[in-house]
Amino acid sequence: MAFELPPLPYDYKDLEPHISAETLQFHHDKHHASYVTNLNNLTKDSPLADKSLEEVIKESVNDSAKTGIFNNAAQVWNHTFYWNCMKKDGGGSPTGELAEKINASFGSLDEFKKQFKEAGGTQFGSGYAWLVVDNGNLKIVKTPNAANPITSGHTPLLTADVWEHAYYLDFQNRRPDYLQTFLDSLINWEYVAEQYAKAK
């Protein structure tokens, strides 16, 4: 049973004018797809081929002989999660328990956005900014390259891809502008709330 590339949960043009169809075509159809192909090639005929993506990530993370497997498996997971964290006409504000928890944890939604943007903006090189649940508490973390917070026992609620391929066609070097746009106009808060409901 091979690992598969899930389709984007929206059309290529749905995130315009913020993220272009061209970016999504390259990012999903080329970058995300190649991580899936690489993972299948690297796990072919091995016991890992029949495990879940999460199991592959957790079993390969601290194994120097499986660095390629970890990188590709985590990138498959990270991208699928990132697509789901955005939607057409996204942004706005979270509601209900998630909104209360964000206010209790960060003081306000604006302060959350400020800290999330800071985390993504200061991740040197490639990586991700995340909102996670850690022992019942909300935390913002940043990770390099393919790294994923599930290997630290955290439950991801939200992520922004800060690899240059995520924003360069639309924002060039202006990563902070991309992150501000992500926070203001792209987040699918319903999806984030679903992750929070599962994590509690």
Residues that bind Mn ion (CB under 5 A): 161, 163, 166
Q: Find the shortest distance in angstroms from Cβ 82 to Mn ion.
A: 7
Nearer Cβ to Mn ion, position 78 or 195?
78
Q: What are phi and psi of 141, to 5 degrees?
A: -135, 160
Select from 75, 86, 194 the least CA-distant residue to 144: 75
- Strands 127-134, 137-144: pairing is antiparallel
Dihedral angle, C-alpha 31, 36, 39, 41, nearest 10 °: -100
Q: Which two tokens stand for residue 69?
A: 């497997």
Residue appearing with tokens 């699918």: 188
Nearer Cβ to Mn ion, position 32 or 113?
32
Q: Find the shortest distance in angstroms from Cβ 98 to Mn ion.
A: 25
Nearer Cβ to Mn ion, position 80 or 188?
80
Nearer Cβ to Mn ion, position 61 or 146?
146
Q: Find the shortest distance in angstroms from Cβ 95 to Mn ion.
A: 29
Q: Which residue is nearest to Mn ion (CB)?
A: 161
Q: Find the shortest distance in angstroms from Cβ 191 to Mn ion.
A: 18
Q: What are phi and psi of 39, to 5 degrees?
A: -60, -45
